[in-house]
Amino acid sequence: MAFILTFLGKGGTGKTTLAIAAAKEFASQGQRVLLAGQSSGPGLGLLLETPLEADPKTIAPNLQVVQLQTSVLLERNWETLKEHEAQYLRSPFLKSVYGQELGVLPGMDSALALNAIREYDAKGNYDVIVYDGLGDQTTLRMMGMPEILSWYLRRFREVFDNSGIGSILAPFVQPFLSSVLQVGVSGDSIAQPTNQAQNILEKGRQAIADPNRIAAYLLTTPDPLAIAQAKYLWGAAQQVGLTVGGVLLNYLDVSVTEISEMLILPEFSPLPVRSIPYRMVDNWEPLQAALPNFREAIQVPRPITIDVAAQTVSLFLPGFDKKQVKLIQSGPEITIEAGDQRRNLYLPPELSGRSATGAKFHDDYLTISL
Amino acid sequence: MAFILTFLGKGGTGKTTLAIAAAKEFASQGQRVLLAGQSSGPGLGLLLETPLEADPKTIAPNLQVVQLQTSVLLERNWETLKEHEAQYLRSPFLKSVYGQELGVLPGMDSALALNAIREYDAKGNYDVIVYDGLGDQTTLRMMGMPEILSWYLRRFREVFDNSGIGSILAPFVQPFLSSVLQVGVSGDSIAQPTNQAQNILEKGRQAIADPNRIAAYLLTTPDPLAIAQAKYLWGAAQQVGLTVGGVLLNYLDVSVTEISEMLILPEFSPLPVRSIPYRMVDNWEPLQAALPNFREAIQVPRPITIDVAAQTVSLFLPGFDKKQVKLIQSGPEITIEAGDQRRNLYLPPELSGRSATGAKFHDDYLTISL
C-alpha cells in the first residue's frame, strides 16, 4: 500500500512545483514513487522538461511519472466493461459502442483518476504516489466520492428495494456494477454487486480517512487571497474526511521577507507551517531540503472522532464560523453542511440510527451528543 | 438572451479579478449584469468586499452577483424533481429522500452550474452574465456538456431501442427526464422526454457555438507556463465548440515591461492580444478601461465550419501539432480527439452518415473531406 500525497491551494501558489519536489525527495530517499498528474495542460511536462504519457514512465531512479488522461482511461474502462457485459449478460447491448467514440462528461475526470490511483496503489509497485490534481474543491469532491457514493448506494438501494424497482433493474445494474468494479458476480441479484461496491467504497473511505495512507498539505503564498483560499480548503477537506497535515508557505517573490510566516501561523493553528524558498531555475535541491516530513500528518487533529462510550461525535471544522456550519436531521443519518459540502455521518452499530440530542460549535470543533 | 462571458487561464493569472472588472464595465455601460461565481472559495467575495449568497444580490447599479452553491442547487433541483415524480408516477419512490441530505459528487458542480446559468439567462433579467468558473478544463467540460450529453442520449437510445431495454426502462426514465428537464410529458413512451431533452441540449449546443451568445477570453501573465496553459486551453476550447475571442496579458508584476506583448502575439495569432495593467488596491477604473470589446469575439475563427457544397468539415485546432490530433471512425459519427477531449461530428442531414475520404492538418486547421 502506497502513501498518497496531494497539495491543496489557490491556483498559482506552486502546487505542481511542490508535487515534483516532493516526488524527487521521496525518490532520493529510496522510496519507489509515482507522480500522477491530472491537469491535462502542459504544466507538469514543461516543469519536468519531458513529454508525459498515459502510462507511467521512468524519469529518474525510483521515480515514475504518468499523465492521467481521461479520454484514455475512459476508453480502457469501457472496453473492460464490455468484456464483463459479454460475460454476464445473455444479450449484451453495449458491444456496439466503442470506447474511442466516448466524449468526456463533467465528473469523469475525477472518477476515473481516483480509480486509476486505486489501481496503481493496488499493484504494489509504489511506496509513494504524489497526486498533482487541480488542488481545489475538485480534488476534494474526488476524495469525498467513496463516502458519498456509498451513501447514495445505501440510501437508494433501500428506496428501490421498498418500491420493488430493484428486482426490475437488477439484470441491468448487476453487469454494469460488476464491470465498473471489475468483480465477478453470479446470479441476477442486485445485492451481490452492491455489496461488492460497498466493500470497495468502504476501503476507499477508510484509506482517505487514514493519514498513514492519504494526506493533503496546504499551499499558500503571503497573498491574503491565497491564505483565505487555503484556510477554506482546510475546512472543506475535513468535510470529506481528508487529513490536512500542514501548511507550506511558498515565497514566489524573493522580495517578501519571512515576516509573513509569523502572520499566517495563528491562522492555521494547530498545523505546522513550513517556509518554502523561491525556486531558481533547475535547482530543486533547496526546495527538497525545505520540505516537511509528510508522514507526520498523523499528528494533527483528525476530521472526525467518534466516542462510543461518551456517545459523542466530534468534527474538526477549522476555518468556518458557527453560522457557516449546519446540522440537519431529515434523513436516517445526521447531515453536516459546511463549505458547499454535505457529509452524512455513518455511525458504528452502537450509535447507528440515533438522533442528535445536542450540538455545540467551539474552538473549531462541532461536538454532537447522541 | 444574455451575452455570456468567461475567462480561461492558469490559476493565479487573475481570472476572478478580470471577471469583476468586466462585470463592472458592462454595468457602467448600462447593461444589466449578473456576475456568477462558481468556485466555492472566498476569493470572489473578498475581492468584491461583500459576502455572497446563493441568490443574486445587487451590489451596484445594474450589477448583481451570485455564488453558485452546488449543495443549494442540488437541494432545489431535487425538490422540483420530487414534485414532478409525484405528478407523473403512480407510486413515487423518491419522496422519502430529502434534498438536504444529498452529498455532492464529482460533475454535479458543472452540471448544476450550467443549468443555473441557463435558467438565469431564460429569465430575461440580464443582458450580460459573467461566469467566474475554475477557468480550466473543468469549465470546458461544462461547456461541452450539451453536445456530449446529446451524443450519449442519441447513441444509447439507439442501442437501448435495438435491445428492447428501452420499453422496460421507460416508466422510470420518463419521469426522471421530465423532472430533470422540468417539462411535462404524458404517456409511458421514452421518445417524448428524450426528444425534449435533445431540444434543450441542442439549444445549449447552439448557444455555446455562437460567439454572439457565449465567448471565452484567455488570460495569461508573461510567465511561460501561463502562456503554455492559455495556448492549451485555446485549442481545447475549440474541441467543445467554444469561441475564444482574444487574449488578455495580465502584468501581475509591475516590473515587467510591455516587451512581453511582442513575444506572445505570434503565439496566439490570429487572436487580438490586450495588455492589462497591474491593479492597484480598490482602483478598478484602469482595469476597466483596458478591457477589449468582448462582443468582438465574432471576428475570430470559428471552432467548426461545415461546407455542405464542398463536402468538407474544417476544424480550427490551434495549439496542437499534427501528432496530437487524431481522427477516429469507429462509431456512426466521425470522432476528433485532441487535448484530452473527444468530439463527435454531428453533421447536417446532407452529410450525415458519411465517412471521411481524406483529412489534412495545416496551419491550425484540420480539414476533413467527406
Contact by Cβ (8 Å): A93, B155: no
Residue of A340, A342, A345 to mutate for B, most B C-beta atoms under 10 A: A340
The yes-or-no verdict on residue B189 having pLDDT over 60 is yes
Residues of chain B with Cβ-Cβ distance to A117 below 8 Å are: none
User: Which is higher by pLDDT, A188 or A303?
Assistant: A303
| Chain A nearest-CA residue for B225 | A43
Mean pLDDT of A25-42: 93
Nearest CA distance, B11 vs chain A (angstrom): 4
Burial of A21 (0-12, 13-18, 19+ CB in 10 A): buried
pLDDT band at B256 (very low <50, low <70, confident <90, very high): low
Q: Using 50, 70 and 90 to split pLDDT, how confident is the model at A187?
A: low
Closest-CA distance, A43 to chain B, in angstroms, reads 6
Quote the Cα angle for A83-A86-A91, to 5°: 155
Q: What is the pLDDT of residue A93?
A: 74
Q: A239-254: per-residue pLDDT in tens?
A: 999 999 999 999 766 5
Mean pLDDT, residues A62-70 taken together:
97
pLDDT of residue B183: 59
Q: B339 and A40 in contact by Cβ < 8 A? A: yes
Residue A229 and residue A311 in contact, taking contact as beta carbons nearer than 8 Å? no
Using 50, 70 and 90 to split pLDDT, how confident is the model at B47?
Answer: very high
Residues of B in contact with A148 (CB under 8 A): 103-105
**pLDDT tens, position by position, A198-224:** 899 999 999 999 999 999 999 999 888
Distance (Å) from the alpha carbon of A201 to chain B's nearest alpha carbon? 14
Residues 6+ apart with CB under 8 A from B67: B37, B40, B44, B45, B52, B53, B54
Nearest CA-CA partner of B196 in B186, B210, B211, B206: B186
Minimal C-alpha gap between B116 and chain A (Å)? 15
Contacts 24+ apart (CB under 8 A), A323-326: A325/A361, A325/A366
- The pLDDT tens digits of the residues spanning A342-361 come to 999 988 899 988 899 999 99
CA atoms of A287 and B127, how far apart (whole Å): 49
- Whether the per-residue pLDDT at A280 is higher than 80: the answer is no
Q: Which tens digit of pLDDT belongs to each residue from B341-353? A: 999 998 889 998 8
Q: Do A41 and B233 touch (CB under 8 A)?
A: yes
Within 8 A by CB and 6+ apart from A163, the residues are B91, B93
Q: What is the reported pLDDT for A165?
A: 65
Confidence check: pLDDT of B207 > 80: yes
pLDDT score, position B264: 83
CB atoms within 10 A of CB B188: 12
Q: Are B368 and B327 in contact (CB under 8 A)?
A: yes
CA A20 to chain centre: 19
Higher pLDDT, B200 or B175: B200
Domains of chain A listed by start with CATH number: 3-71+103-146+206-299 (3.40.50.300), 149-202 (no CATH), 304-369 (2.60.40.790)
Looking at beta carbons, which residues of chain A come within 8 Å of B108?
107, 141
Mean pLDDT of chain A: 89
Nearest-angstrom CA–CA distance, A108 and A86 = 23
Q: Tell me, what's the pLDDT at B86?
A: 78
Q: Is the peptide bond before B106 cis (omega within 30 degrees of 0)?
A: no
Burial (Cβ within 10 Å: 0-12, 13-18, ≥19) of residue A360: exposed
Q: Please tell me whether residue A76 adopts helix, strand or coil conformation.
A: helix
Q: Which residue of B has its CA nearest to A161?
A: B93
Q: What is the pTM of this model?
A: 0.93
Cα(A206)–Cα(B345) distance, integer angstroms: 43
Q: Which of B43, B93, B152 sits opposite A229 (nearest CB)?
A: B43
Q: Among B41, B71, B342, whose Cβ lies nearest the Cβ of A341?
A: B71
H or E element that contains B36: strand B33-37
Q: What percent of chain B has pLDDT over 70?
A: 88
Instruction: Give the per-residue pLDDT at A279.
Output: 72
Q: Which helix (H) or strand (E) holds A361?
A: strand A358-362
pLDDT confidence of residue A186:
56
Sheet holding B312-316, edge to edge: B304-307, B312-316, B365-369, B358-362
Which residues on A lie below 8 Å from B155 (Cβ)? 97, 101
Instruction: Point out the least confidently predicted range of A277-281, B139-143, B175-179.
Output: B175-179
φ, ψ for residue B11, nearest 5 deg: -60, 145
Mean pLDDT of A309-328: 93
pLDDT at position B179: 62
ipTM score over 0.90, yes or no: yes
pLDDT (mean) for A38-51: 89
Phi-psi sector, A252: left (phi>0), alpha (psi -120 to 50), beta:
alpha
Would you state the pLDDT for residue A185?
54
| Mean pLDDT, residues A65-84 | 91
The predicted pLDDT at position B127 comes to 98
Mean pLDDT of chain B: 89
